[in-house]
Chains A and B, each alone.
Chain A
């Protein structure tokens, strides 16, 4: 039962994650992360080669700054689509999960790939310690300022 419960909990968290981004409720979205969390975005080729060439690499403070500015750079709403959630590793208080994502903006898919997320249970609630968005895009079309 633990695994089923975990998957449901993670799915709930991810649904909230994308709903908050799509509704541009970024302050609430940031609250899904622990204070020591790190958000990264990387192209699949670099992820596979472990080059550490991050498209975005921000701790929570810098992420807040990026959002503060980015809201005025990217003004259009997004729609996130998720699929294929798997629990990749589960410890007593930690979880690693991954799932596919696609982000639609201005009528087209801006980016798509897979989230790799490390989570921790704090006061019986899941929080994100690390989120890595691995992009399958070969070419980045337009800009990606706000986190996806």
Chain B
């Protein structure tokens, strides 16, 4: 795959179905992918059903307290052994012929087992574990690639940012709610967008103008629109290329911190290829976006609201209520992004339209990009090249 892939990008990398098929194999079957949060699995038998590179898997805590990631596919004829998205089971039973598996994946029951023949051994036919599973700050990751680097090494310089979003001053978070949405465009567009510091004041200008007007010229919206705090806000904006991963951060004004007073930095971090983690100190909300490519021009996003595990019911309720205020398909700025992705996808189909530019701030320090630089966006393409090019070379 020798097409231009950053800082100048061949537009077919967003639109060509053959590229998409190769991405599924070379990226999503080899990289570390987020599969669950530890808070979803406090007890033996708790499970989360999900998919990796389109392949169904179960993340389950066994009776031995270990978390395992197992293919959700019966060893007999291949049907799913769990149909629900999440819950608690003593065992997993295939609906077809009722083969049954323990929460550790062992095959425990086969109806009319004698018919399988004398050489059939139950211990040989458990659910197959996914090659690798590791956790980081409560986030459960798995990889289909037995040769994958250790997770912490893979996350590398992004680890402190992941820690900042995925814990609350080092204390664990739990999931308050989750939902899914779909947009009709390429998966890389949301990865770029979440760490793109250049677009908000333009794409979201109508929302910011309305908000600034309603709030009397206060707040981040007003700062984006050149209001009183614009200078300080501009100076606080940082984005970084962390190798394959990227980070975007900016400071909220102290007077806007109505729901908590201890944290003032907005942080968006991308862990290539599919985890986007965000913290908004104004609304005191933590969000995870898990990117699930379904086709070259169709992407499913699983989004999760998290908050401190020890929060009171009142605080938990407030965080949940504020979670979608800006983000997602029903938020104040999310619909701008999702609509834009679909316009981007249509525009990128112009084969002769020239290459795509992700070149802002190219001459600056990639670890310390200033406002509106595109270092973190370029990091997405570092990851892409790492996996898509032979031997991982750039």
Q: Is the interface of A mostly helix, strand, loop or mixed?
A: mixed
Q: A53 near B177 (CB under 8 angstroms)?
A: yes
Q: Is B324's CB under 8 angstroms from A142's CB?
A: no
Decide if B321 touches A139 in the complex (CB within 8 Å). no
Return the contact of B206 from the options A51, A53, A62, A72 (Cβ within 8 A). A72
Docked Cα-Cα span, A107 to B55, in Å, equals 31
Cβ B181 vs Cβ A54 within 8 A: no
Interface 0/1 of B186-218, CB less than 8 Å to A:
000000000000000000001100110010000
Q: Is the CB of B335 within 8 A of A74?
A: yes
Cβ–Cβ contact B329 & A140, under 8 A: yes
Check B125 for interface membership: any CB of A closer than 8 A.
no
Question: Which of chain B's residues has its CB closest to A67's CB?
Answer: B210
**Once the chains bind, are B320 and A143 in contact (CB under 8 Å)?**
no
| CA–CA, A138 and B180, complex, Å | 7
In the bound complex, residues from chain A placing their C-beta under 8 Å from that of B184 are 142
Q: Are B323 and A53 in contact (CB under 8 A)?
A: yes
Interface size on B, residues (CB 8 A): 32
Which residues 171-187 of B sit at the A interface, judged by CB distance below 8 A? 176-177, 179-184
> Is A139 a contact partner of B176 (Cβ separation < 8 A)?
no
List B contacts of A41 (CB < 8 A). Answer: 330
Bound: A54/B320 CA distance, A: 7
Q: Is the CB of A51 within 8 A of B210?
A: no
Distance in Å: Cβ of B180 to nearest Cβ of chain A: 4
Is the beta-carbon distance between A69 and B320 smaller than 8 angstroms?
no
In the assembly, what is the distance between CA of A65 and CA of B335, in Å?
Answer: 15
User: Do B210 and A55 have beta carbons less than 8 Å apart?
Assistant: no
Asked if residues A73 and B335 are in contact (CB atoms below 8 Å), the reply is: yes
A35 near B: Cβ within 8 Å?
no
With contacts A51-B177, A55-B328, A72-B206 known, is A143 near B334, CB below 8 A?
Answer: yes
CA distance A119 to B73 in the complex (A): 50
Of residues 209 through 232 on chain B, the ones whose CB sits less than 8 Å from some CB of chain A are 210-211, 214
- Whether B320 contacts A51 by the Cβ 8 Å rule is yes
Q: Assess whether B376 is interfacial by the CB under 8 Å rule.
A: no
Cβ contacts under 8 Å, B210 to chain A: 65, 68-69
Residues of A within 8 A of B336 (CB): 73
Question: Is B305 in contact with chain A by the CB < 8 A criterion?
Answer: yes
Q: Which residue of A lies closest to B324 (CB)?
A: A55
- Contact A53-B330, Cβ < 8 Å, known A65-B214, A140-B181: no
B268 close to A (CB within 8 Å): no
Beyond A53-B177, A56-B324, A73-B339, whether A142 also contacts B206 by CB under 8 A is no
Chain B proximity of A142: nearest CB distance (Å): 7
B330–A145 CB distance below 8 A:
yes
CB pair B323–A139 under 8 Å, yes or no, is no
Q: Which of A105-143 contact B (CB under 8 A)?
A: 138-143
How many angstroms between the C-alpha atoms of A48 and B264 in the bound complex? 34
In the complex where A65-B210, A141-B181, A142-B183 touch, is A53 in contact with B335 (Cβ < 8 A)?
no
Q: Which of B180, B305, B317 contacts A139 (CB 8 A)?
A: B180
Chain A neighbourhood of B181, CB < 8 A = 139-141
Known: A61-B214, A65-B214, A143-B334. A53 touches B320 (CB 8 A): yes
Q: Known interface pairs A68-B210, A139-B300, A144-B329. Does A53 touch B182 (Cβ–Cβ under 8 Å)?
A: no
Asked if A16 is at the interface of the complex by the 8 Å CB criterion, the answer is: no
Query: A55 contacts which chain B residues (CB < 8 A)?
Result: 179, 324, 328, 330
Residue pairs across A and B with Cβ atoms less than 8 A apart, 26 shown, are: A41-B330, A45-B179, A46-B179, A51-B320, A52-B320, A53-B177, A53-B179, A54-B321, A55-B324, A55-B330, A56-B330, A57-B321, A61-B214, A62-B214, A65-B211, A66-B332, A69-B207, A69-B210, A73-B206, A73-B336, A140-B328, A141-B181, A142-B338, A143-B334, A144-B335, A145-B335
User: Which 5 pairs between the two chains have the least Cβ-Cβ distance?
Assistant: A143-B335, A53-B177, A55-B330, A53-B320, A140-B181
Contacts A53-B305, A53-B324, A142-B182 supplied; 18 other A-B pairs, CB < 8 Å: A52-B320, A52-B321, A53-B177, A54-B324, A56-B324, A56-B330, A57-B325, A65-B211, A69-B210, A69-B332, A73-B206, A74-B335, A139-B180, A140-B180, A140-B330, A142-B329, A142-B338, A143-B334
